[in-house]
Structure formats: C-alpha cells, structure tokens
Structure 1
Amino acid sequence: MPGLSIFGENDVLAHHGKQLTKRFLLSHLKNNEPPKVTSAPLENYPVGILGAGASGLYTALILDDLGIPYKIIEARDRVGGRLFTHTFPDTTGAPYNYYDVGAMRFPEISPMSRLFHLFDYPPLNSSGIDLKKKLKRNHFYSVPEHAALLSYNGVTVKQNSIPAGDPFRSAAVIKDVDSQSYLLAGAEAIVDDVIRSFAEGLLSDIKNGTTTGWEFMMKYNHLSTRAYMSTDYRPSAKLRLPYGPLSNDVINWLETFDKSTGWYDRSLSETVLEAVAFGWSPTTGMIESTEPGTKWWLLDGGAYQIGDCMATYIRSSKPESIVLNKRVTSIGLDDDSDGKLATPAPVKVVTDGVDQHFFCHVISSIPLPVMRTIDLRKAKLHPMQSNALRQLTYGEAVKIGMQFRTAWWTMAFDKDRKPINIIGGQTYTDSPLRTIVYPSHGDVMDGKTTTLIASYCWTEDAEKLGALIGSCDQVLVDLVIRELSNIHNVTVDFLRNQLIDTFAWDWSRDPCTMGAFAFFGPGKFENAYQSLNTPAADGLLHFAGEAISVRHAWVEGALTSAWRAVYEIILTDPAFERYQGTFLEHWGMDAEWRDEKAFASDPVPLPNPETPHDPQTVSQDLPSPSSPLSLSSHASSMHETLDMRNFNFLRGNLLLGNIAAMHPELCK
C-alpha cells in the first residue's frame, strides 16, 4: 500500500480516545477473537444512514467512494444538521446578511486534520462545487487596534487596555477568603495553572510515547472541574496563593470570567480537552491567532456550505440517495416481514410510524437525546448502551443574531463621542448575553457587514435565555437591545432605530437535536461512552456523531465517528472485507484506533510529495492542501510529514476488541 494517512497523529484528543479504549478492553475483554456478523446481501439492501448532518454526509462520501450502496434518511427539510446558517430576508449588508447558527469557526490544528482533509477532497472542489475556495480567515480574536470589550459588574473596558488592580470590582464577589492574592494572580493565570499540569502531561505523552499524563488526568476523571478545584488542586508557588484548594467564591469568580454558568460542574477532562482544542500552549497558555499561533477559518457565505457541498456531490453521484422530511420512529432487527420480502433484511427502519426501509447495516448519526425518543426495543441494545443514551449529557447553547442598518460596533460613536471601533473578536460579559461575536465575514474593515451575533451563551445561561425564545420574543429583543446599549455605551433608541431583524435559536428546543453538543459529566468518558463505540442489533446498528468521539462540539468529531462506523462494518462483516484496502488508502487511519505495538507489518514507504494546487485557482491565503495519501503542514503545529519507514499500524484491533468486549456472543 502507498503512504497511509494517519489522522490525528500527535493529537492529544486521539491519545485520550485510544487510552480510553485500551482501559475498557483490559477491564472487559474476555475473548480476543474478532467478532463477525452476517448481514443481508449487499446487492439487495443498501447501508442505511440516519441523519444528513456532517457525520451522515461524510459517511455517504466514504461509502460512495468505495462503491457501497447507501441511503440517507433525514428528518429535516434540509441537510447539514448543526451546520445551519440563517440568512435574513432584508438585503441590507448582502451578501453578508447572515450568521452561522451552528458551527461557525474552524481552528487549523492537528485535532481538526480530518476536516481540513475534507476541505481538500477533490470531488468537493470540482464541477463547480469549490468548497475550499469558500474558506476565509476568521478574526477569532479582535484585530489588535480594534479590540472588543470586557464587561463585568457594570464596568466595561477595551480588551487591549485593561486597567491594573481590580477594574471589575471582583473583590465584592469574593468574600469567603481574602481576595487580594487571587486578584493579584488574576483569573486567567489561575485557570491556566489548573489546566497546565494536565495539558502538559498529555502533550508530553504525545512527544515521548507515554501514557503518564493521560493516567494523571484520568485519576481525576470522576471529578467535575469545580470539585477538582475545591478539593485536590494546589496552586503553583509562582502564583503566590494560599496553598490549598480554592474557595467557592473564587471558583465562581473564575467560572464567570472563563466559561459560562455551570460549566465547571461538568467533567474536568472536558475542560482540559476543550482548552487543548482551542490551542492551549505550554509557553503562552491560550495562544492568540497571530503567528506562530492558531489560524482560524470560516466559510464565506456560511458554514452550512460544508454540508451543502457534500450533499451536492452525493446527489450528483446518486440522485435519489437523500430522503428528507422523514423522521425515524423505530429501528430494529426485522422479524415480521410476513414473507413480503424475497430476502428478509436484518435491519428495519420505520419513519413517521408508517414507512418501512430495509438495510444490511444502519449507521445512525442521530443525536443521542433524539435516539431516546425512537423505539429501539428490537435493536438488541446492551444494557450499558441503553444507559449511555440516557446518561450521556448534552450542553445547552443559544445564539441570537441581529441584523442592523450599519455596523455600528465599528463605525459609530458612543455617548461620550468616542469611536466604538470594534472589528472581529468577541466581547465577554457577565450580562445575560455572555458572549457577543462580531462578524469576520465580508468587508469588516470598512464596516460593510451589518449582522451581529448579539448573544452566544452556553449551559445555564443558555437555558435561561432560551426560555424567552418563541414565547416572549419581544421581551427577548428588548433585553438584548438594553444589554448591548449598556455594554457599548450607546442609547437604546439608537439601537432600536438601527435594528432590522432578529433570529434566535435554542438548540435544546430543536426537536432534531435536543441539545447543542455532547458535554459529558464526570466519569462519563469511560464505560458509557465506550459502549456506544460498539454496534447494537447483532452488530448491524452502528452509532456515529460528535458525541461518539472525544472531539465534542466540533465538526471533526462528527467526521471521525463516521470513519469509525464505516470501518466497524468493514472489519466485522465478511461481505465488506474486500473494501478495506481502498478504505485505508483513501480515508486513512485514525490515530485514536491505531496501536503501534499491536501489529507489525511490512514497512510502508514514505508518501510521495503532494502536487501543489494551481496558484491561479487557489488563494495563497488558504490552508495548505493535503492529498488523500499524505498530510502536509497546514501550519507549524499540524500535518507534519509522517515518517512511515518503521511504521506499524493496527488493522482495527482496538476497534475489534472493543466490540468483542461488549458483545462476546458475536465472537465465534
């Protein structure tokens, strides 16, 4: 085989996922023989894909490339799932009169390598689709001379000119200890200190091929971030804090400035991994977007185009392969065909309680809370899988987009006749809005983009604000306008006259998601999570979606889970074994499911240098291209050329062992 792409190489999140699987196997595996399943003839029944979000569509791309028949069933009237862009009907600011309600920004880092490979995928960059050309730089942090704001306890300052001392009167909310030393250390430094020992340990594992850092993090996996801070955490001497855990008031103060209300009640490992995914660095902590830091990208025209481009290609290849407006109501092994089928199909999917669809295998990318509403009595779920569907938690998220007549946050003056002058980045506040996201798309330097994400909030903040959406829309608009005026020091009347339209969305109240993204509680990354990385229905129902990955809340997680679900079928069903070579050659190996010590194979030659894209057709401001057979450097931190000369790779042993541990009845 020519050079094999390893997605997630030198990736802390893949390292985490791999070690979780190994621990699970050591605890549960009784029979190390690979499980095998028998499905209906592939020539008679396709693979069923439930959900046309990023995971379902990526599954279809893989199957289409392999020549495996498939059919996608989607409950909505559109594709994309949480790749959702709202365009305001008024044309003010067009073509940038939109905002991304779901995924909106993509850091160019190693844990996101499969997504950037998708951006390069040739079928999505030909015949007028041109996905990669839509990538533009995202001002995740403000343009330095046009900084956004910090607004806490009624005090608002520019992020690039924070006064010394206690500008936000934080001493007033820290009463259970002497606040002075904590305020001198600063919230950012304390949070970094909490995360640092875990993040450095994980990065050391990657560098040295060890598991010491991961084992150290998992020692505290049973704790929430708050519980760890209040019991086991000990500050570094350099912070000059009292030696001992943090008090409740200090933890609340840190959470307010660092995350959203209630975030610290979730898993400590989620907090650590989220910091790494956002570009935590041993030298600078949460690094800025300037070189040599992380580059952030957006899709010009909206992130929905990721799903739309995949669907466009899929429909061009197989016009009838995507079925919309069909809600799945039951999934199970077919035992009641009543002789209607010449060859009984092992998996029956019912939509809208009436229509029946038959498949040889089913890959479900339906969000886990929604799966709980489906009749799964005949799906033969393991009890741990049933518990996982109930117990694995999703986080709340609300976005409120507003369209204005002008980009007043850039062009206007405040009540003191000072220019507001904000371009890109985000304002952080303890007001109900919590985060305000300024546009990065369009001609933002000249204030031509007039849509604003007036609020982006999570967890308990989203739960409260979301209660106003739909039932009290005018109350919601009045609240948002009031808070925007207070934070930016402009009048309410000015903003009312500027406002054209509002569109708010609460992902927890979306019947097709029932939550924004997977956000696990303490300990949930172990048995419950691992159980859904194995199939149900005698090996014929496979789970996918960002929740079934360690990359929660990222499109990358949806893609890696889809890859695993397809590979699961190839490894366990003899009818699909013939596809394994092409699958690995075209879609690579995920580092999360690779064990260097499990198998020795013949040395694999180094991949050939990639062919550069035509400079006349690809902007030099785009990420570096990657071919299906080699990953090149998108930045100094990702896509390092792989030394394949002494490379041992696992043909799914971790995956097979995981299935065997949960389903010994499949091991013959």
Structure 2
Amino acid sequence: MESTSPSTQYESDNISEEIPLVLQFQKCLQSLTQFEEHAQKIKNYKDQKKIPPGVHVKVGILGAGVAGLNAAMQFDILNKNGYNIEYEILEGENRAGGRIFTHKYPTINEERWQYSDMGAMRLPIWHSPTYDLIAYTNERIQEYNVHVDKINNDNKDTVGFTPVEKYPLIDMRDYFFDSRDASAKDLNDPEAASFNLYYSKHLEIVLQKREIDDPDLAFKRGGESLKLQAEILKEIRDTYEKDMKEIREEFVRAIKKTVQTTEEANVPIVWKKIKELLSAKPLLDLLDKYDNQTVLDYLVAQQNFGGDQAKINDYKRKLYAWESLFSFVGFLDTSLVEQIFEDKDFDQETPYEHPDLSIWDRGPAQYEPLDPNERKKIPKWHTISGGLQKLTDGMFKVIGTNKVRFNQRVTRVTYRCKKVDQTGHSCELSGENECDSYPVNERIEVLTSNGITRLYDRVIVTLPTAACANIDWTGFKKFRKFYEAFRNLNADPLFKHSLEFNHRFWEDTNLLKENYAFVGGQIVSNLSSRNLVFPCYGYKDTKGEDSSNEQRHGTVLCYNFYQDGIRFIGLTEEERTQRVLTDIDTVFKKLVKEPSKFRSRDYYTGNSFSQSWANTPGNGLAFFRPGQYETLNCLDQGYKDLLYFAGEHLSVHHGWIVGALQSANKVIQDLTLEGKKICFLAPKTQTANGNTVNITPLPIQGIKYARFSAKHDD
C-alpha cells in the first residue's frame, strides 16, 4: 500500500546533520504543529456538517425524477448566491422525469393529439409547493425564450442559420376529479353538476355518487330496490368516513402542537426533517398507538362489538363489500397511518388555518383567496395541458441538458477515504472499517452499468428503495438498517392501460341516456378494470355551444393499483385491451339509450399503451405496511453527512409530486448552511453568506388564483 509522508511538503525529505541542531528542532516543531493544525481542521470539518458558501464541493445526484431535478434547481439558485456546488445527475433510463411520464398517440393534427399520463396525472391546489415550482420553472423558461428571440433576431439574415427553438411554457387547466355533466353550459364552473359512477357487477347496478349521497334520487330512477342498495352503500361509506375523520382530527391536534412557526414569515417550517417531526410528542404517541394497525384493525375496534365474533365477521363482510366498490383490493390491510396521510392528500374540505398543517404542505400560497366563500368558487384540482411530463421536461431544460447523464444505471456505491495516523502518514483506503484514526477526504465512489467510475464529495440518492436494494453498497459501516429499509419498505405496483378512441362516446348526449353523458372524472367498479378515467381535455367548451356529439378523438385510462394492478401485469397487451373494452361495454350498456347497438370496439382506433410500474427498477409508488414509518428513519438521517436520501417515499405524500419536492428540499437544508427553505416563490430569501436571492416568478400561465384557462382544443 503506497504511503506519502507530510515531510515532502518541506525543503528536504530528511533532517540533515549539516543543519544546526536548533534549526532541526524548529523544523520538527513546524512539522508537528502543522500536523496538529491539520488534525484540528479534520475535527472542525467533522463538526461542520454542512457545505458553506464558497467551498467547492462535487455532488452526485442519483436519479432524474422530480426529487433529483428539484435538488439540481436548488443548487443552481445557491450557486448564484455564493455557493460553489458542482453537480451532475446520473439517470438509468434514457429520459428525465421518473414516474412522471406522458404517452402521446400519433396524429396528423398536432393541435389535437391525444395523450395519457401514465404516472402522476393531477394536482390538488393545496399542494402549493408544486404550483410554486411550476411558476418558477415558467419564469426560467421565459428568460431562456427572451434570449432565444435575441439570437434568432440577430442572426436572421445570416446564410445557413437555423433558428433556435423556444421552449413551451407550462400551461394548466382544470382537472375534473368528479365527472361533469356534458350538457352543462360551462364545464369549468366549479358549481356545475358533477358526479362519478359506481358499477357493481354482482348487483348489476350503476349508481351516481349523488344517488349514494341522496338515495331518494336512486328511488326516482330505479325504484325501491335501487334505493335500498344506495342506502346500504351510503351507510358503509359514512361509517368509514366518520371513523377516519375522527382519527384524522386526532392527528391534526397533535401536529398543531408539534409544528413550530416562524414569527418572521408567519408560515410553518415545512421542511423539518420527518424524523424530528415524527419523534416529537404528542405525534410520536399517536404513531406508537396507530402505526402498527391496519385500516381494518382500526375500523373493527371502533365498533365496540364486545367480542361478539358473529357481529365482527358481519361487519368485516360489509367493509370488504365497501372496499370492492369504493377502493382497491388490499386497501383494508394497509397501514392505518399511511391511509390517514393519503386521505389528507384528497381532502377537499379542510379549511386553511394559520399555522397551517405543514406536515401536509397545505397552503393557499397565492393561488387561492383566503375568503371561504370565494374559495368555494375555485377549482380544487388541475392538470397540465399536454401532460404532466411537460413539468419535468421544463425542469430538465432549466437546469441544462448537459447536467444529466442518461443510461447510467448505478450498480455499486463505495465509501472511500484517506487515513492520517499520528505520525502524519496518510494512505488511500476503501471501506470505513479501516478508517479508525483520522479519516480525511471522505468520498463516495459510484460505479454505473457502463463501467464508468465517478468520485463525489456528497451523494443524494433519489432512487426508490427497490432500486437501492439492487445496488452493491460497499465499505459502509453499520449499514444494516439501510439494507432492511431498501428491502422491506412496501411499494404499490401501479398499473395503467390507455386506449384511444375515434369518438368520445361518453360525452355523446345523443348516445347516452339523459344526465349520463359526462366529461372527465371516472367510473369505479368491481370489474377487472376497476377505475376507468376519462380525459379533461379535448372537449369543446365554448359557452352555450353543445359540441359534445362532435366526432372527436379521446382516450380512456384503466387505472389500477395494489392487487388490482398485479392482475393485469401477467396479461399480454391484446388481452389487456380486450379486457378493458369488455368492461366498458358492461358498464355503458347500462347508460346508453340502445344497449343492443353499443360496442366500444366500434370506436377503438387500435392504439393502446400499457405502463406497469412494478416492472421498473423502482417497483412502483411507496405505500407502507403497518409499522414502516419507523423503518424509514435511517434513510431520513442519511449516512455520515456523505449520503443523503430523497424521494416521495421519504415524505408523507406518497405517490405525489409534492412529496418528492418536500424530501428534496429537506436534503438541501441538511446539506447546506441554509437555515430556511429555499422557496421558489420567496421574493427575498436570505442566504448564509448574507446575500439576498431575489425571485419574483411569473404567474402560472393564464390564471387568476387557480382559474386556469381551459379554452383549449389540444
């Protein structure tokens, strides 16, 4: 093993006898003093865990999903204000975006091309950090486009010059979480009639959501039998929602006591580490109480059956009947705490308060009026025109296409350092176990599938835990808990299957019975397809003009997860398509005026696309089993201030963009000296070196509050 002595720094490698004794002593003293100073610097470096401004540090980001791209954008902000962080992103696939992916169907009309979001597809307005990111990304894109305009204008007369293309801004539109009545004059009116459809294969009935809310409506349509079924479903649903509401309110009270707010900004510290949040009483008491329970355990315990097994079994049967129609197979066996957080992400009714419930990052930002009456008029859900991939494409362009290395799947991550002993000798080592004296120059070595090795001062791992489990982690001491987290944290095998149709028959008021033609929303059933999601774009929505019967292309998305998603994975593409078409026929024969004449295959273009996230290295979205919120604590802490972990699985927003943003921002705070979050929208953000970051983003394209322009024919 090669070694190098610090004495090579001086004029002579050896103390010559020709030099006077006093000078020999002085030189030895100088060497010893410098070594002690060096040792003190090592100690200070160990104590100083965060990167200070001005110090050059090379950071490797593993994964170009939302978390990785967000971390890169934050580094760019810091580098403009005194930091010197060199970074690159290693991505195993040939594109950026991770589980944000939009499939586009071929078309001869670019203005009316069809698409389906095969990953994330909708944005609730209370996820304000996501909207902040979109606004900031648009501002950076517009700055680039102004620069492109100047280049094109300056060179327009140059022979052979090819104009540079501008980047499109991210334009948003209303997302219809519930279906809208296709006959409504203004589909974008939040108070317009809306409903979802529920179909039971065993009962062979179709119920609108509003009929379950008011069974008398079901009676008017289908008599006493239909009313009875609506009442049964309403009773089960209301019991579940009542019990879950009580436990959510219990968590809310605990969170309010846990979360501190900053007086200066009068907003919650939303980027606190999950470990700190989950280890603070009284929230910790609730996690100890509930984290090891399933949803089924909790709901049964709430009924106080007094040990009467017959009543318990009967109630369980009702719950499983509810699960088969209103949720997904396996839902009742998931973590209770997981479902509390999941319900909160879909909660449209909770009023905004100050301090806000920062664990969920809920907040109106500048997108909603604080007046409750005005807030009711604002659409609560939105999506991006052209697909959500436009967001990650925009982020990728903002940081610079040269910052991402594609097709670089990580196969091994190694801890490396130098050891300096008490004589001042240093040597290169691989493996922390050998660094028992003065470890210096600690680095992380990353090997990718093409055989390229890279060294970094810090590494941010944004890969899903399933992908981490297939990486060799060498030289790391006390890494067992990390391995266990990689192997055990549960992932939801999300599956989507998209079909293109040459006619939007679900919007056709001539084809369907009165009040059954709809735009957007979904049909939930206990058929194999489970959830059929309908597009919120491509309809013609000019006020007063009924154009729903126009021959226009559209897509239908079969959206399944957990056990329902697994069933589709083993089928061929053709088998999946035929299964979905059959299920569409089964439901719509209950809705159309002439059932014998309806065949969805008559409108099917032959184009389909499947995305099984279980067949990717990440295996799907985080969806924890009981007890697993405690398991992730080691990932949240990171490793020796060298390895940091981020991603939606390290947040309380599993499966949401805001979860990836939340975790990445916590990593940036842990990694640097920034005591405050670097918010994309903060008009003035003070950095550690005293500079002020001025960020005044453009408003999101075409909105006032969240009123996105929906007048599109895309």
TM score, norm. by length of structure 1: 0.71
2:215 aligns with 164
Q: Encode CA deviations 1:595-619: one digit per residue, 9 max, x unaligned.
A: xxxxxxxxxxxx9x997967xx952
* Cα distance in structure 2, aligned partners of 1:225 and 1:35: 44
2:484 aligns with 387
- CA positional deviation for 1:486: 0.8
Contact 1:262-1:460 at 8 Å conserved across structures: yes
2:122 aligns with 105
2:289 aligns with 219
1:560 aligns with 662
- CA positional deviation for 1:216: 4.0
- Taking a change above 3 Å as real, the CA distance of residues 130 and 80 of structure 1, as seen in their structure-2 partners, is same
Contact 2:497-2:576 at 8 Å conserved across structures: no
* Cα distance in structure 2, aligned partners of 1:125 and 1:267: 44
Query: Equivalences for 1:569-588 in 2 at 5 Å?
Result: 569-570=671-672, 577=673, 580=674, 584=677, 586=679
- Taking a change above 3 Å as real, the CA distance of residues 42 and 496 of structure 1, as seen in their structure-2 partners, is farther
- CA positional deviation for 1:270: 1.2
1:543 aligns with 645
Contact 1:231-1:245 at 8 Å conserved across structures: no
Contact 1:200-1:213 at 8 Å conserved across structures: no
2:386 aligns with 301
1:258 aligns with 326
- CA positional deviation for 1:97: 0.5
Contact 2:135-2:697 at 8 Å conserved across structures: no
- Taking a change above 3 Å as real, the CA distance of residues 77 and 209 of structure 1, as seen in their structure-2 partners, is closer
- CA positional deviation for 1:66: 1.1
Range with bigger deviation, 220-229 or 40-49: 40-49
- CA positional deviation for 1:247: 2.5
1:199 aligns with 248
- Matched-pair identity in %: 23
Q: Encode CA deviations 1:416-450: one digit per residue, 9 max, x unaligned.
A: 86685111111111111111111112335444763
Counterpart amino acid of 1:456? Y
Contact 1:401-1:451 at 8 Å conserved across structures: no
Partner residue of 1:483 out of 571, 583, 587:
583
* Cα distance in structure 1, aligned partners of 2:302 and 2:498: 41
Contact 1:106-1:298 at 8 Å conserved across structures: yes
- CA positional deviation for 1:138: 0.8
Matched residue SS, 2:628:
coil
1:85 aligns with 2:102: yes
Contact 1:229-1:246 at 8 Å conserved across structures: no
1:135 aligns with 2:172: yes
- CA positional deviation for 1:95: 3.1
1:183 aligns with 2:200: no
- CA positional deviation for 1:108: 0.8
- CA positional deviation for 1:260: 0.2
Counterpart amino acid of 2:643? L
Counterpart amino acid of 1:142? S
- CA positional deviation for 1:65: 1.2
1:474 aligns with 574
2:24 aligns with none
* Cα distance in structure 1, aligned partners of 2:681 and 2:193: 43
- CA positional deviation for 1:151: 0.5
- CA positional deviation for 1:37: 4.8
Matched residue SS, 1:376:
strand
- CA positional deviation for 1:161: 4.2
Counterpart amino acid of 1:347? I
- Taking a change above 3 Å as real, the CA distance of residues 41 and 325 of structure 1, as seen in their structure-2 partners, is farther
* Cα distance in structure 2, aligned partners of 1:379 and 1:507: 30
Provide the alpha-carbon RMSD of the alignment.
Answer: 4.2
1:632 aligns with none
* Cα distance in structure 2, aligned partners of 1:553 and 1:492: 40
1:331 aligns with 413
- CA positional deviation for 1:273: 1.3
1:519 aligns with 623
Counterpart amino acid of 1:442? G
1:277 aligns with 2:345: yes
* Cα distance in structure 1, aligned partners of 2:283 and 2:636: 24
* Cα distance in structure 1, aligned partners of 2:448 and 2:597: 48
Partner residue of 2:60 out of 22, 37, 48:
48
2:35 aligns with none
Matched residue SS, 1:192:
helix
1:58 aligns with 70
Matched residue SS, 2:470:
coil
- CA positional deviation for 1:381: 5.5
* Cα distance in structure 1, aligned partners of 2:286 and 2:313: 18
Contact 1:39-1:540 at 8 Å conserved across structures: no
Contact 2:408-2:450 at 8 Å conserved across structures: no
* Cα distance in structure 2, aligned partners of 1:354 and 1:130: 34
* Cα distance in structure 1, aligned partners of 2:92 and 2:231: 50
Partner residue of 1:429 out of 516, 519, 525:
525
* Cα distance in structure 1, aligned partners of 2:525 and 2:239: 19
Counterpart amino acid of 1:474? E
- CA positional deviation for 1:281: 3.4
1:443 aligns with 539
Matched residue SS, 2:386:
coil
Contact 2:497-2:610 at 8 Å conserved across structures: yes
- Taking a change above 3 Å as real, the CA distance of residues 104 and 618 of structure 1, as seen in their structure-2 partners, is closer
Partner residue of 2:608 out of 458, 481, 502:
502
Contact 2:681-2:696 at 8 Å conserved across structures: no
- CA positional deviation for 1:451: 3.0
Matched residue SS, 1:532:
helix
Matched residue SS, 2:580:
helix
1:320 aligns with 2:402: yes
Matched residue SS, 2:413:
strand
* Cα distance in structure 1, aligned partners of 2:629 and 2:333: 15
Contact 1:401-1:454 at 8 Å conserved across structures: yes
Contact 1:79-1:311 at 8 Å conserved across structures: yes
Q: Encode CA deviations 1:455-484: one digit per residue, 9 max, x unaligned.
A: 11111000111221xxx2221111111100
